[in-house]
Structure 1
Amino acid sequence: MLVWLAEYLQQNVASGFNVFSYLTMRSIMGILTALVLSLWIGPRLIRWLQRLQIGQTVRDDGPQSHLSKSGTPTMGGLMILISILVSGLLWADLTNRYVWVTLLTLTGFGIIGFVDDYRKVVRKDPKGLAARWKYFWQSVLAGTAAVYLYYTATQPAETALLIPFFKDVMPQLGMMYMLLAYFVVVGTSNAVNLTDGLDGLAIMPTIMVAGALGVFAYVTGNVNFADYLQIPYIPLAAELTVVCAAIVGAGLGFLWFNTYPAQVFMGDVGSLALGAVLGIIAVLVRQELVLFIMGGVFVIETLSVMLQVGSYKLRGKRIFRMAPIHHHYELKGWPEPRVIVRFWIISLVLVLIGLATLKLR
């Protein structure tokens, strides 16, 4: 939105306003806008949630240290979504269809999470939105985005699969692109949701992965960098740098209130939306496999749940003391901050490995 204003002011007032047309400048402003917004919204949202008694319900069979968290305001993901949307609408080029796909995906999955949270904490339904309906609406949104992107692709690079560490291996996916995009979006959404079990555990890896995806978006949308790094040049991808910057800013603002001991939890409204937007951005910049590396913490958390359930059903035995795996380490005696920080460190290492794939080809 402000891109248009900057162009108008540049032509009619002063050429200095041209600085706001630069992608790097708008990305910086996107981070700062989202950060300031989330810091401003945070206290007001927390007080509002407390007044409505919208608090987290803690399972009795979980770590005993979590019982003190019962009643902590949840649905704090609303501050993240609002901050990202406002910042993105202000600083991104709204003529870019990739921007709209990401923002609409964020909003759609946020609505699914909101309904789930509302039923849990307001209607006191412990199951929330029925799993089949949650998955149905996730499938509708992800499938719609996948079909739209496939049929609006204008160059082969937009539907090719990039293989990390190999510069000449880029098979065309054809209609399989839609299936891959669907699973990446839905899978990442639910993976982040499973990871969101400790104070700050999910948001910091999300921030790091979003920042790295911003780098991928910038170089993929820059013809010179794309040629130098021997990756496909996708012009529309560059504008996603602004959206990634907004995610980073909003995430940092949320972490201010979510760090241990948390004043607010993001709830499904935040985790489902953030996971989905990371997934769709990875699809748009053609880095689905690199997302699997950088989001390794999310992958490990998801696999731990799958292995736990599978082992119990097949053998009647559990592999972990509790799943997702962060609870396993808590029950082993690790203090919550130790689990959180160590998972952050692992996430940072994995993100750096993901970024290294740009050069190691």
Structure 2
Amino acid sequence: MSPPHAASLKQGIRAVAARAGVSTASVSRAINNPEAVSPSLRARISQAIEAVGYIPHAPARILSSRRSRTLGAIVPTIDNTMFARGIASLQKYLSSVGYMLLLTTSGYDLDAELEQARNLISRGVDGLVLRGDCHHDALRKMLADNAVPFINVGIYRPDRPYPCVGTDNEAAAYRAAAHVIELGHVRIGVVSALQRNNDRASARVAGFRRALAEGGIELPEKWHVEVPYTLDDAREAARYLLSLDDRPTAVVCGNDVIAYGVLLEAERSGFAVPRDLSVVGFDDLDWSRHLRPSLTTIHVPTGETWQRAGEYLVRRLAGEQTIMHHEVDYSLVVRESTAPPPSLKRQGRSR
């Protein structure tokens, strides 16, 4: 016995065929392979579909253009305010131009991302928005073999042969670390996001390290901690750094949520920010300006970045001229969480 949805589809095709005065095979052929039927027959079947109110499966696509007017986006997680903000901007733009968005997550797993991309393509998406440029080789091949346009969002890599829109993460992180160096800090720790399958996190760590190296400042291995994207893990990292006898006087963080965890743990451990510890974030989330002390951070226009990703794909699908690599500016926002380092006496105070 056929499932209810299959029976409904058959009835819908029969109604279209009867309305157009053709066979159900002709309707199926017009939906799945429009070029196999004449323009006049395709137009008649299209009119019948509209009159009957039949909605073909997504892979059938719109008869006249063979487009579903649907884009897919694969993000590592939705448990991230920055991703939520970006997806909201992308969705708003796509809705304004008559496109729909399908969203999936990969959990920073390249195999999972490959599988999700396969699922989205099988459902007829016209293009994909991907996070970063760290992808499975099989995914790149699948996109090329199926001629599916895509764009890497959140990075700027003009040296790569793939379209991208985003900030130069290494340069932005360099600026963040340079800020505390300019304030006089030489004991600087790093709390970064996990770098595995995350080229944005890796680029930010590289930027931190380059600034320190150029300033002649050593980064001891014990002063660099990688953590998952959670407040609890960030607090644990801060607890460890602040418990060291030779603790840092400043901590630069891979994102704002990590910085929030460092701020919270510093307060709980009896340290005053920025008197005893300076903290710098990255992303400039909404809460960063409302905290006390407010967070010094790198501002990245997340909404603009994701909207531009959508604009690139829509224009590409329309056959318009597009720019493959688009850099989005960042800026250092200095607030209350950074200041010159404490005196040597204060560095060695008992806790």
Task: Report which of the two has the higher share of strand.
Answer: 2
Per chain length, whose mean CA-contact separation is higher, i.e. which structure has more relative contact order (CA < 8 Å, sep 6+)? 1
TM over 0.5: no
In the superposition, the TM-score normalised over structure 2's length comes to: 0.25
Structure with higher Rg: it is 2
Decide which structure has greater helix share: 1
